[in-house]
């Protein structure tokens, strides 16, 4: 049962939400009794203007994508839900775990990547919080899975192209407008002593390529390479983003204590979210068989120790 106090706490938000989504705006709106009681007011309050209606029509981006949307949709393998369930049941030892990168660890990791580029006389690649989180997770994943050293490993993530299309997608477009970025590196480089730096450089290059290239030309290059990448096997993908601020979500019961992205249970992707412990930190969600998860954890700890001299209790 929801208590009266909880109802009073939730009701103002609910009323504002309802008023905001009315199709026809009103000059004034009188809050319901719980709102007046909770807010200690009895006069009419001005209703906020409703947001512009969202655009759901895919035609808003179809012209700019030049048919690639349909091509990719047919190129990707179709989902067999029953088969996915069977595969997950067979991997009964699979476990999900969360690894946290603190802000005080992220800064030195960025500096390490930049210092290595300066040492080699190269222009530093794009190096953000997400890039170093991707790099560390990618290296730990490759080492835990034990891929053959002669293979090429790939790391796939998505980037928004709303403002990069010609013509650009409208601000009110509701659908996804993202394209894949794929970083690649030799497994032997990722498992070597400078594996983290190699991974960060590869991810940074993929970001720089996306930012400097025509979006559709970049996608046209990848549409022929993606099948080969998938066939290679050593592929890690990402779900989620720290920008979603999942720990700031409050439906009236308070902020969440723990957030897990359960879709990675089947996709075996790595998830990324903001940290529940501090601003600027990152949570990395991983699904692996128990033995490989132990290896991932060991490499995560040793990677922080060897790269930035940080003990795991720092």
- For residue 232, tell me if it sits in a domain: yes
Structure-token pair, residue 217: 């030309």
- For residue 51, tell me if it sits in a domain: no
- For residue 233, tell me if it sits in a domain: yes
For residue 11, the model assigns a pLDDT of 43
**Domain count of the fold of the chain:** 2
Strand-strand pairing, 235-239 and 270-274:
parallel
CATH number for the domain that contains residue 259:
3.30.559.10
Q: Are residues 175 and 230 in the same domain?
A: yes
- For residue 52, tell me if it sits in a domain: no
Q: Are residues 185 and 281 in the same domain?
A: yes
Q: Are residues 292 and 261 in the same domain?
A: yes
User: From CA 155, how far away is CA 140, in angstroms rounded?
Assistant: 12
- For residue 234, tell me if it sits in a domain: yes
For residue 119, the model assigns a pLDDT of 93
For residue 177, the model assigns a pLDDT of 80
Instruction: Say if CB 113 and CB 124 are below 8 A apart.
Output: yes
Residue given tokens 């981006």 in the structure block: 61
Q: Are residues 31 and 87 in the same domain?
A: no
- For residue 32, tell me if it sits in a domain: yes
- Print pLDDT tens along the chain (314 aa): 343 333 333 344 444 444 444 444 444 445 554 454 444 444 456 778 887 888 888 777 776 666 666 666 665 555 554 555 555 555 568 899 999 999 999 999 999 999 999 999 988 899 999 999 999 999 999 999 999 999 999 999 988 888 888 778 888 888 778 888 889 999 999 999 999 999 999 999 999 988 888 877 777 777 777 777 877 778 899 999 999 999 999 989 999 999 999 889 888 899 999 999 899 999 999 999 999 999 999 999 999 998 888 765 54
Q: Are residues 292 and 169 in the same domain?
A: yes
Task: Kindly provide the b/e burial profile for residues 166-195, where b requires at least 16 CB atoms within 10 angstroms of the residue's own CB.
Answer: eeebeeebeeebebbbbbbbebbbbbeebb
- For residue 314, tell me if it sits in a domain: no
Q: Are residues 126 and 30 in the same domain?
A: no
Instruction: Say if CB 202 and CB 92 are below 8 A apart.
Output: no
Task: Kindly provide the b/e burial profile for residues 240-271, where b requires at least 16 CB atoms within 10 angstroms of the residue's own CB.
Answer: bbbeeebbeeeeeeeeeeebbbeebbeebbbb
Strand-strand pairing, 28-29 and 45-46:
antiparallel
Q: Are residues 107 and 41 in the same domain?
A: no
Candidates 247, 284, 281; CA nearest to 135 is 284
Q: Are residues 240 and 154 in the same domain?
A: yes
Helix (H, G, I), strand (E, B) or coil at 295: helix
pTM of the full predicted structure? 0.76
Q: Are residues 37 and 64 in the same domain?
A: no
The domain containing residue 83 runs over which residues? 59-308
- For residue 53, tell me if it sits in a domain: no
Q: Are residues 23 and 157 in the same domain?
A: no
Q: Are residues 65 and 22 in the same domain?
A: no
Q: Are residues 21 and 134 in the same domain?
A: no
């Amino acid at each position: 049962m929801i208590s009266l106090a909880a109802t009073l706490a939730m009701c103002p938000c609910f009323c504002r939400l309802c008023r905001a989504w009315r199709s026809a705006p009103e000059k004034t709106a009188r809050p319901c009794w719980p709102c007046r009681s909770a807010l200690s007011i009895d006069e009419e309050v001005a209703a906020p203007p409703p947001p512009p209606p969202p655009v759901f029509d895919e035609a808003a981006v179809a012209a700019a994508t030049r048919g690639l949307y349909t091509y990719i949709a047919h190129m990707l393998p179709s989902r067999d839900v029953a088969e996915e369930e069977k595969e997950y049941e067979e991997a009964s030892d699979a476990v999900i775990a969360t690894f946290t990168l603190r802000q005080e660890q992220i800064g030195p990791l960025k500096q390490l990547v930049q210092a290595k580029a300066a040492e080699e006389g190269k222009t530093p690649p794009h190096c953000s919080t997400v890039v170093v989180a991707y790099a560390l997770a990618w290296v730990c994943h490759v080492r835990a899975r034990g891929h053959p050293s002669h293979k090429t490993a790939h790391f796939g993530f998505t980037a928004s192209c709303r403002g990069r299309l010609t013509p650009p997608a409208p601000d009110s477009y509701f659908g996804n407008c993202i394209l894949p970025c794929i970083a690649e590196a030799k497994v032997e480089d990722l498992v070597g002593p400078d594996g983290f730096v190699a991974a960060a450089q590869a991810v940074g290059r993929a970001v720089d390529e996306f930012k400097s290239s025509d979006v559709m030309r970049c996608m046209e290059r990848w549409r022929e390479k993606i099948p080969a990448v998938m066939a290679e096997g050593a592929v890690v993908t990402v779900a989620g983003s720290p920008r979603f601020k999942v720990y700031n979500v409050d439906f009236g019961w308070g902020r969440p204590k723990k957030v897990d992205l359960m879709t990675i249970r089947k996709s075996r992707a790595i998830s990324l979210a903001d940290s529940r412990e501090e601003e600027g930190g990152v949570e990395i969600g991983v699904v692996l068989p128990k033995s490989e998860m132990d290896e991932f954890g060991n490499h995560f700890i040793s990677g922080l120790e060897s790269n930035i001299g940080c003990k795991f209790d720092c």
